[in-house]
């Protein structure tokens, strides 16, 4: 019952966020809808193609980081297989309630291929964790450079939430005293949890192996910086499709903050959060809400495009074992 209540709560939050976006963009009025329609109608088609293609490049950069992490553990998959699993994960994100679902799918497929499920899942965890740590650092720097504009409660709360969450995960994983105490406490009161903790034990052992590979972690963090730079170019090109006067510096500042907001696990598939992120952050930088909505719509389309590529690759790399 509590799980159902949590799902209903997330649906309610998603609908509320969408309502806020419609209000901020004035989409409840004919004038606001006309302004958005005109923005979409005047899109630059050449830049539109470029904006779609750079989305593929972003996936290739991110998949390469995952590939480096899997190679450090000798999981035996080629880069193109890793890239295919990465897109297949995005394909499943279209159907599963959160992006974490796609992560489990791609780690499961890699584990099935390599015969090492715990190591496969650990590689995805480290890939995700290093990415979010880098994102938090870059977003914090962006906020600090424009503190007069971004001194907003929802932005500050987002930064603090991620900081505390990442710190707690690091403490739980790397402090050898915490996890055993939590595990023993729960197992003493819930015997059915033994199977779950048996798998968690293997996962934590696989994650802690990366502690002995600082060069691999350093390369993963550097790759994350490259990824977020390409992500900035992605947002800049997407914005240029609708507004040729967009500043690259503004997108350099806005993108990590928007991406951090999007990663808050409070809505269904980050629906509403992405919209609020683009509209609110770009408005703080002096752009109209219609530009934020237009960028978001194109970003959603590109996500569908990436998912479609994953769907095409699915029968080749999942149903059959072709390397």
Asked if residue 19 is part of any domain, the answer here is no
Residue 71: CB atoms within 10 Å: 16
* 3 state SS for the chain: CHHHHHHHHHHHHHHHHHHHHHHHCCCCCHHHHHHHHHHHHCCCHHHHHHHHHHHHHHHHHHHHHHHHHHHHCCCCCCHHHHHHHHHHHHHHHCCCCCHHHHHHHHHHHHHHHHCCHHHHHHHHHHHHHHHHHHHHHHHHHHHHHCHHHHCCHHHHHHHHHHHHHHHHHHHHHHCCCHHHHHHHHHHHHCHHHHHHHHHHHHHHHHHHHHHHCHHHHHHHHHHHHHHHHHHHHHHHHHHHHHCCCCCHHHHHHHHHHHHHHHCCCCCHHHCCHHHHHHHHHHHHCCCCHHHHHHHHHHHHHHHHHHHHHHHHHHHHHHHCCCC
Asked if residue 34 is part of any domain, the answer here is no
Structural tokens at position 236:
């800049």
Q: What pLDDT sits at residue 46? A: 94
Asked if residue 23 is part of any domain, the answer here is no
Residue 67: CB atoms within 10 Å: 24
Structural tokens at position 56:
């593929």
Residues of the domain holding 104: 41-319
Burial (CB count within 10 angstroms: exposed 0-12, middle 13-18, buried 19+), residue 190: exposed
Most confident of 102-106, 169-173, 218-222, 269-273: 218-222
Asked if residue 293 is part of any domain, the answer here is yes
Instruction: Tell me how far apart the alpha carbons of residues 168 and 39 are, in angstroms, rounded to a whole number.
Output: 43
Taking only the tens place, the pLDDT of each residue in 271-305 is 788 888 899 999 999 998 889 999 999 998 998 88
Instruction: Tell me how far apart the alpha carbons of residues 264 and 154 are, in angstroms, rounded to a whole number.
Output: 11
Average pLDDT, the chain: 87
Asked if residue 258 is part of any domain, the answer here is yes
Asked if residue 9 is part of any domain, the answer here is no
Smallest CA-to-CA distance from 140 within 115, 159, 167, 117 is with 159
Q: What pLDDT sits at residue 16? A: 85
Q: What pLDDT sits at residue 202? A: 84
Q: What pLDDT sits at residue 323? A: 44
Q: What pLDDT sits at residue 179? A: 74
Average pLDDT of span 202-206: 85
Average pLDDT of span 79-89: 94
% of the chain beyond a pLDDT of 70: 94
Asked if residue 18 is part of any domain, the answer here is no
Contact 241, 52 (CB under 8 A): no
When divided into structural domains, the chain yields a total of: 1
On the question of pLDDT at 98 being above 60, the answer is no
Q: What pLDDT sits at residue 322? A: 41
pLDDT band of residue 6 (cuts 50, 70, 90) is: low
Residue 235, CA atoms < 13 Å, CB-side half-sphere:
27
On the question of pLDDT at 128 being above 90, the answer is yes
Question: What is the sign, positive or negative, of the torsion defined by CA atoms of 139, 141, 142, 148?
Answer: positive
Asked if residue 13 is part of any domain, the answer here is no
Lowest-pLDDT range of 77-81, 181-185, 191-195, 293-297: 191-195
pLDDT band of residue 195 (cuts 50, 70, 90) is: confident
């Amino acid at each position: 019952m509590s799980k159902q209540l949590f799902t209903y709560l997330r649906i309610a939050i998603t609908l509320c966020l969408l309502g806020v976006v419609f209000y901020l963009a004035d989409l409840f009025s004919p004038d606001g809808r006309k302004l958005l329609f005109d923005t979409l109608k005047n899109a630059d088609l050449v830049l539109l193609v470029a904006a779609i293609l750079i989305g593929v490049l972003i996936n290739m950069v991110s998949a390469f980081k995952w590939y480096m992490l899997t190679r450090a553990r000798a999981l035996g998959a080629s880069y193109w297989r890793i890239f295919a699993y990465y897109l297949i994960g995005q394909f499943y994100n279209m159907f599963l309630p959160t992006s974490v679902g796609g992560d489990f799918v791609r780690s499961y497929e890699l584990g099935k291929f390599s015969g090492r499920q715990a190591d496969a899942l650990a590689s995805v965890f480290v890939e995700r964790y290093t990415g979010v740590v880098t994102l938090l650092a870059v977003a914090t720097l962006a906020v600090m450079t424009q503190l007069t504009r971004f001194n907003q409660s929802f932005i500050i709360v987002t930064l603090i939430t991620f900081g505390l969450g990442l710190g707690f995960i690091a403490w739980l994983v790397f402090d050898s005293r915490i996890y055993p105490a939590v595990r023993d406490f729960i197992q003493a009161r819930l015997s059915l949890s033994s199977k779950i903790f048996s798998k968690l034990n293997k996962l934590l052992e696989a994650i802690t192996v990366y502690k002995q590979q600082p060069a691999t972690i350093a390369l993963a963090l550097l790759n994350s910086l490259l990824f977020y730079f390409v992500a900035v170019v992605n947002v800049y090109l997407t914005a240029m499709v609708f507004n040729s006067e967009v500043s690259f510096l503004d997108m350099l500042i806005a993108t990590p903050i928007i991406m951090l907001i999007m990663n808050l696990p409070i809505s269904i598939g980050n629906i509403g959060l992405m919209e609020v992120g683009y509209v609110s952050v770009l408005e703080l930088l002096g752009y109209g809400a219609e530009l934020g909505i237009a960028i978001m719509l194109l970003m959603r389309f590109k996500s569908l495009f990436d998912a479609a590529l994953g769907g095409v690759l699915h029968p080749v790399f999942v149903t059959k074992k072709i390397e």
